[in-house]
């Protein structure tokens, strides 16, 4: 047995014998223990904090005595005086091994720390960002060996960090000399390393040790909203989240109307590109300000979006996406400078990455959902539905994954609904209709009370009750069906037929009054026949897409449904199934994945290996094109009724007991604003 002391690191359990006097950081590196260091062991970055444990450790076969580490030294004292070191903590680069010892590496000292993705999920992201910080000491220039400052910085990065082939753009080269001299030949470099290449690019330089961190943005660019998560690229923590309406809405509400705008107006694509890039800069400035960081500390951006937004963001005319064969200009992931998108608000050398598209109608957002939800890793057959203006649908398991996109329209987001509104305080998000009295009770965003509970009026006084959001309208329509106020063709009954004065005439059809504040100058919130037709069209499209994939897979049912998208997070599984939005599965097999596309963007931001993974995965996904598949139209028409009866639904109906209702008067006309699609 060796005379050298034994060192056991926890939580990894890695162990080894090291000569007395070996710094803990050195031992950790030799064992491959995940212990962080930005300054390379110079005692100035404090990232390598460890906690020694003393006493008997029978489990590890170690007895650690006081003095097993070298004495607290002047470097540690200076750091403690200046910034404070938690009790029991030592700096791994300063504390030297003198005797057998157990050393714990706390989570915050791990480079590849695991970041909890969201409260609702147990899965974690391993930190392995493409851009990291490196502190280096650079050799001073020598007239007799006249190499450039950049070349000497490159040598320092190679010898001190093992980084070869490091380059810099002209902006960074331009600031190199003053930065090196200000830092007295010590600088911190933020270096981007592509996941596909063995090269590095210096994104930014700071004199001395840079302690303000670096940040990345995960941006989910939707047709209607742009959502951004500002993420600390060292800890993985989301330091701020913010959103903005997509200003392209003024060119067209949905994707196809934007494509039409580009077709009809020469240069229209450029207008839309300029609008979205400008909004992006606004959003970036806002989110940096909200987090209290300089926006120049944002060194990376990852984008996910549908194909039309993808093209419009990148400055590509989306006209080909509006007509068969729906050819993408490029389907592969792209890595480029953020300044190529005129994103002046971030660091001038910041990098951008956009996930690959799956097909002309199935974009980088669907790829991000695949990265986040990993249907290809699933043991049971899972249907992943990302509900937005377009629904992206994935169906698969470990054997294969299919994907399609379905044009649901904006109804699920509360648009094209008479009392519809965005999910914001004052919007009705939950609703129940009593089958006996036919009266509703509801909850609004921003208040935890139901409308029939004490204090509701006071609690909602400031926001008011302003409309119905996407999840509210789904519930309302399903509840109207369950309360017997609507038949299974989707027709609302009259006051006479239903026996409730809440049913009021509206042209040749009827509307259901949810909340009437018109006497006090407030809004009258109702569900109209047109609203129901809009929801029917949307849900039929969604359902038909899912069915098409099931046909392709050769199955009649799925094992599990994952609802993604901000909307998916709020929707009630029961109501979605009553409505026939999704194939019938047991209610406990319906899950919400939150904003899975945004999560996929965050994963690609925090872990460059995930970029390689998704680029490989999308090539394996089988694409199904809804627009040319006759079966899609068949499914679409067949899905119009509420509910769509299947065996599985019979199971469900035992719980929700739908009445048989019919109000067919022959006088209904479609008022939904959108023409109902029929097969010719």
Q: Figure out which of the listed residues 166, 316, 404, 492 binds a copy of itself, where binding follows CB under 8 A.
A: 316
Q: Which residues of 70-98 are buried (b: 16+ CB within 10 A; e: fewer)?
A: beeeeebeebeeeeebeeebbbbbbbbbb
Q: For a copy of itself, which is the closer residue by CB, 98 or 137?
A: 137
Restricted to residues 567-626, the positions that interact with a copy of itself (CB under 8 A) are: 623, 625
Q: Which of 210, 81, 74, 70 is nearest to 133 (CA)?
A: 210
Q: For a copy of itself, which is the closer residue by CB, 212 or 332?
A: 332
Report the distance separating Cα 485 and Cα 651, nearest Å.
22
If one asks whether residue 278 binds a copy of itself (CB under 8 A), the answer comes out as no
Report the distance separating Cα 436 and Cα 424, nearest Å.
31
State the binding string over 55-74 for a copy of itself (x if CB under 8 A, else -): --------------------
Count of C-beta atoms within a 10 Å radius of residue 155 = 15
Which contiguous run of DSSP H or E holds residue 100?
Answer: none
Q: Figure out which of the listed residues 31, 329, 449, 656 binds a copy of itself, where binding follows CB under 8 A.
A: 329
Q: For a copy of itself, which is the closer residue by CB, 74 or 170?
A: 170
Q: For a copy of itself, which is the closer residue by CB, 1 or 143?
A: 143
Which contiguous run of DSSP H or E holds residue 543?
Answer: helix 529-553
Report the distance separating Cα 315 and Cα 645, nearest Å.
46
Task: Tell me how far, at minimum, the Cβ of 324 lies from a copy of itself, in Å.
Answer: 6
Q: In this chain, which stretch among 20-28, 228-236, 313-321, 525-533 interacts with a copy of itself, using CB under 8 A? A: 313-321
Q: Figure out which of the listed residues 65, 628, 638, 655 binds a copy of itself, where binding follows CB under 8 A.
A: 628
Task: Tell me how far, at minimum, the Cβ of 208 lies from a copy of itself, in Å.
Answer: 19
If one asks whether residue 348 binds a copy of itself (CB under 8 A), the answer comes out as no
Q: Figure out which of the listed residues 330, 377, 398, 664 binds a copy of itself, where binding follows CB under 8 A.
A: 330
φ/ψ (deg, to 5) at 546: -65, -45
Q: In this chain, which stretch among 275-283, 309-317, 423-431, 548-556 interacts with a copy of itself, using CB under 8 A? A: 309-317
Count of C-beta atoms within a 10 Å radius of residue 146 = 8
Label the pairing between strands 96-97 and 55-57: unpaired
Task: Tell me how far, at minimum, the Cβ of 137 lies from a copy of itself, in Å.
Answer: 16
If one asks whether residue 148 binds a copy of itself (CB under 8 A), the answer comes out as yes
If one asks whether residue 359 binds a copy of itself (CB under 8 A), the answer comes out as yes
Task: Tell me how far, at minimum, the Cβ of 263 lies from a copy of itself, in Å.
Answer: 13
Task: Tell me how far, at minimum, the Cβ of 325 lies from a copy of itself, in Å.
Answer: 4
Task: Tell me how far, at minimum, the Cβ of 516 lies from a copy of itself, in Å.
Answer: 50
Residue pair 170/193 in contact (Cβ under 8 Å)? The answer is no
Q: For a copy of itself, which is the closer residue by CB, 271 or 559?
A: 271
If one asks whether residue 142 binds a copy of itself (CB under 8 A), the answer comes out as yes
Residue pair 181/163 in contact (Cβ under 8 Å)? The answer is no
Q: Figure out which of the listed residues 119, 143, 519, 660 binds a copy of itself, where binding follows CB under 8 A.
A: 143
If one asks whether residue 139 binds a copy of itself (CB under 8 A), the answer comes out as no
Residue pair 623/362 in contact (Cβ under 8 Å)? The answer is yes
Q: Figure out which of the listed residues 108, 211, 278, 340 binds a copy of itself, where binding follows CB under 8 A.
A: 340
Report the distance separating Cα 29 and Cα 12, nearest Å.
13
State the binding string over 163-192 for a copy of itself (x if CB under 8 A, else -): ------xxx-xx-xxx--------------
The DSSP result for 366-380, as a single string, is: HHHHHHHH-GGG-SS
If one asks whether residue 365 binds a copy of itself (CB under 8 A), the answer comes out as no
Q: How many helices (H) and strands (E) does the chain have?
A: 18, 33
If one asks whether residue 264 binds a copy of itself (CB under 8 A), the answer comes out as no
Q: In this chain, which stretch among 140-148, 418-426, 483-491, 599-607 interacts with a copy of itself, using CB under 8 A? A: 140-148
Q: For a copy of itself, which is the closer residue by CB, 76 or 204?
A: 204
Where would I find the beta strands (DSSP E) of 208-359? Answer: 215-221, 225-232, 238-245, 298-305, 334-337, 351-354
Q: Figure out which of the listed residues 163, 233, 328, 561 binds a copy of itself, where binding follows CB under 8 A.
A: 328
Residues near a copy of itself (CB under 8 A), total: 44
If one asks whether residue 662 binds a copy of itself (CB under 8 A), the answer comes out as no
Q: For a copy of itself, which is the closer residue by CB, 104 or 625?
A: 625
C-alpha separations of 154 from 162, 214, 660 in Å: 10, 21, 76
If one asks whether residue 200 binds a copy of itself (CB under 8 A), the answer comes out as no
Report the distance separating Cα 292 and Cα 289, nearest Å.
5
Label the pairing between strands 401-406 and 114-116: unpaired
Q: For a copy of itself, which is the closer residue by CB, 80 or 169?
A: 169
Give the 3-state secondary structure of residue 29.
helix
Q: Which of 263, 350, 364 is nearest to 311 (CA)?
A: 364
Task: Tell me how far, at minimum, the Cβ of 603 lies from a copy of itself, in Å.
Answer: 23
If one asks whether residue 265 binds a copy of itself (CB under 8 A), the answer comes out as no
**Torsion from C-alpha of 567, 572, 578, 581, nearest 10 degrees:** 20
Q: In this chain, which stretch among 30-38, 317-325, 530-538, 659-667 interacts with a copy of itself, using CB under 8 A? A: 317-325
If one asks whether residue 107 binds a copy of itself (CB under 8 A), the answer comes out as no
Task: Write out 137-206 in H/E/C secondary structure.
Answer: ECCCCECCECCCHHHHHHHHHHHHHCCCCEEECHHHHHHHHHHHHHCCCEEEEEEECCCCCCCEEEEEEE
Report the distance separating Cα 507 and Cα 19, nearest Å.
90
If one asks whether residue 360 binds a copy of itself (CB under 8 A), the answer comes out as yes
Radius of gyration of the chain (CA): 30
Q: For a copy of itself, which is the closer residue by CB, 265 or 336?
A: 336
Q: For a copy of itself, which is the closer residue by CB, 147 or 437?
A: 147
Label the pairing between strands 101-104 and 6-10: parallel
Q: Figure out which of the listed residues 33, 357, 444, 652 binds a copy of itself, where binding follows CB under 8 A.
A: 357
If one asks whether residue 151 binds a copy of itself (CB under 8 A), the answer comes out as yes
What residues line the site for a copy of itself (CB under 8 A)? 140-144, 146-151, 169-171, 173-174, 176-178, 314-317, 319-320, 324-332, 336, 340-341, 357-360, 623, 625, 628
């Amino acid at each position: 047995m060796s005379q050298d002391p034994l060192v056991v690191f926890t939580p990894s359990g890695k162990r080894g014998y090291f000569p007395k006097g070996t710094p803990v950081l050195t031992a950790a590196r030799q064992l491959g223990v995940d212990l962080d260091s930005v300054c390379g062991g110079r005692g100035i970055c404090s990232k390598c904090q460890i906690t020694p444990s003393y006493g008997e450790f029978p489990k590890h076969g170690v007895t650690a005595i006081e003095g097993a580490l070298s004495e607290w030294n002047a470097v540690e004292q200076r750091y403690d005086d200046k910034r404070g070191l938690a009790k029991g903590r030592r700096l791994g680069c300063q504390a030297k091994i003198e005797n057998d010892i157990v050393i714990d590496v706390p989570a915050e000292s791990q480079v590849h720390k695991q970041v909890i993705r969201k409260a609702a999920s147990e899965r974690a992201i391993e930190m392995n960002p493409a851009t990291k910080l490196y502190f280096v000491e650079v050799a001073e220039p020598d007239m007799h060996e006249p190499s450039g400052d950049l070349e000497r910085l490159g040598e320092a990065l190679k010898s001190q960090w093992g980084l070869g082939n490091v380059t810099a753009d002209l902006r960074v080269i331009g600031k190199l000399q003053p930065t090196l001299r200000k830092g007295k030949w010590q600088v911190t470099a933020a270096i981007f390393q592509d996941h596909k290449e063995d090269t590095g690019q210096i994104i930014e330089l700071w004199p001395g040790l840079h302690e303000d961190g670096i940040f990345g943005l995960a941006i989910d660019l939707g047709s209607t909203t742009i959502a951004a998560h500002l993420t600390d690229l060292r800890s993985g923590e989301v330091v701020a989240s913010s959103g903005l309406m997509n200003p392209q809405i003024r060119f067209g509400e949905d994707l196809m109307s934007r494509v039409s705008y580009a077709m009809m107006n020469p240069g229209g694509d450029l207008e839309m590109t300029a609008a979205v890039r400008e909004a992006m800069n606004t959003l970036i400035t806002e989110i940096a300000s909200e987090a209290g960081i300089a926006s120049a500390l944002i060194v990376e951006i990852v984008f996910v979006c549908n194909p039309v937004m993808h093209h419009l963001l990148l400055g590509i005319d989306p006209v080909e996406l509006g007509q068969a064969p729906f050819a993408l200009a490029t389907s592969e992931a792209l890595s480029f400078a953020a300044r190529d998108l005129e994103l002046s608000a971030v660091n001038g050398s910041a990098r951008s990455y956009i996930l690959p598209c799956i097909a002309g109608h199935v974009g980088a957002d669907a790829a991000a959902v695949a990265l986040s939800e990993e249907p290809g890793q699933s043991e049971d057959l899972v249907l992943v539905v990302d509900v937005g203006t377009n629904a992206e649908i994935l169906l698969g398991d470990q054997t294969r994954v299919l994907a399609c996109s379905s044009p649901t329209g904006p109804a699920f987001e509360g648009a094209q609904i008479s009392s519809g509104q965005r999910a914001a305080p004052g919007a009705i998000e939950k609703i129940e209709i009593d089958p006996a009295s036919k009266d509703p009770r509801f909850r609004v965003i921003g208040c935890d009370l139901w409308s029939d509970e004490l204090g509701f009026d006071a609690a909602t006084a400031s926001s008011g009750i302003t409309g119905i959001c996407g999840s509210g309208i789904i519930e309302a329509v399903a509840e109207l069906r369950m309360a017997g106020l609507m038949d299974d063709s989707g027709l609302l009954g009259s006051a006479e037929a239903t026996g409730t004065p809440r049913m009021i005439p509206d042209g040749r059809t009827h509307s259901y009054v949810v909340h009437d504040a018109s006497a006090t100058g407030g809004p009258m919130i109702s569900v109209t026949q047109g609203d129901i037709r809009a929801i029917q069209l949307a849900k039929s499209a969604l359902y038909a897409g899912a069915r098409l994939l099931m046909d392709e897979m050769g199955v009649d049912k799925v094992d599990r449904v994952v609802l993604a998208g901000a909307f998916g997070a709020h929707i009630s599984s029961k109501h979605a199934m009553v409505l026939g939005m999704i194939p019938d599965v047991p209610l406990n097999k319906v899950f919400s994945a939150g904003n899975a596309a945004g999560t996929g963007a965050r994963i690609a931001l925090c872990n460059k290996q995930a970029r390689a993974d998704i680029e490989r995965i999308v090539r394996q996904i089988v694409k199904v094109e809804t627009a040319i598949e006759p079966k899609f139209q068949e499914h679409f028409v067949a899905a119009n009724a509420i509910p769509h009866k299947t065996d599985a639904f019979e199971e469900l109906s035992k719980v929700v007991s739908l009445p048989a209702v019919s109000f067919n008067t022959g006088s209904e006309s479609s008022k939904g604003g959108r023409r109902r699609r029929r097969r010719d």
